[in-house]
Chains A and B, each alone.
Chain A
């Protein structure tokens, strides 16, 4: 079992729709969770981080964390073609130590006009 699992996609959504990206993790003691976006040929850029159960909203993005079920999700409202990228879920496991992020393989999102 991989430590952080994501559906590789591609997830295809029409412009203006809600894109829902999901991630599960194996270390129940994990405390820090991150979503990064990576455009082709570019480096990852942070979208959101979340530490507590529940929802965290930032503009069109909402991160949701459920530690009991060991999943974290990212919702993108009013999806735009510019949102087309690979979305990486990352977790700092309890056993990992300082700043050791474990990344999922990423979900490729395609937003079509």
Chain B
């Protein structure tokens, strides 16, 4: 069973640009979450999608947005990049439903964004 796939793995942008990151969840997983990881703030929740609907959102500015497609694949977008947006962006999926560990997240390898 393939894991969570994130693309691109590495990218470099300059301030003011925008970036789109992609995530393909584990087959059958319908919930996709996004997290930002930085040395100073650790792992922070960005948002979570289920059946193409954003169910939950963290405390990030509106420059951070996301969406989920009918095949459960998800994208997140960051507009008007700032230096502080440099981070590892992690996508995770979970199975949901009446199973043990339904809310257990499996993380992808991450997309490392550097903003210059």
Chain A residues within 8 Å of B, Cβ to Cβ: 32, 34, 36, 42-46, 49, 88, 90, 92, 96-106
Contact = CB atoms under 8 A, between A and B. Distances in A.
B107 A106 contact: no
Contacts of A100: 33, 45, 48, 56, 58
Contact of B42 (A42, A46, A103): A103
Interface residues of B, number: 24
Interface stretch (B64-72, B76-84, B98-106): B98-106
A97 B105 contact: no
B31 A98 contact: yes
Given A34-B104, A49-B101, A99 B33 contact: yes
Contacts, number: 59
A1 to B, nearest CB: 16
Contact of B107 (A45, A92, A96, A105): A45
A105 to B, nearest CB: 5
A99 B56 contact: yes
A34 B36 CA distance: 18
Given A46-B104, A46-B105, A96-B56, A102 B45 contact: yes
A32 B103 contact: yes
Contacts of B106: 46
A42 B90 CA distance: 10
Given A98-B48, A99-B55, A100-B33, 16 more contacts: A36-B107, A43-B90, A43-B107, A49-B101, A49-B104, A97-B48, A98-B55, A98-B103, A99-B56, A99-B103, A99-B105, A101-B33, A101-B45, A102-B45, A103-B43, A105-B42
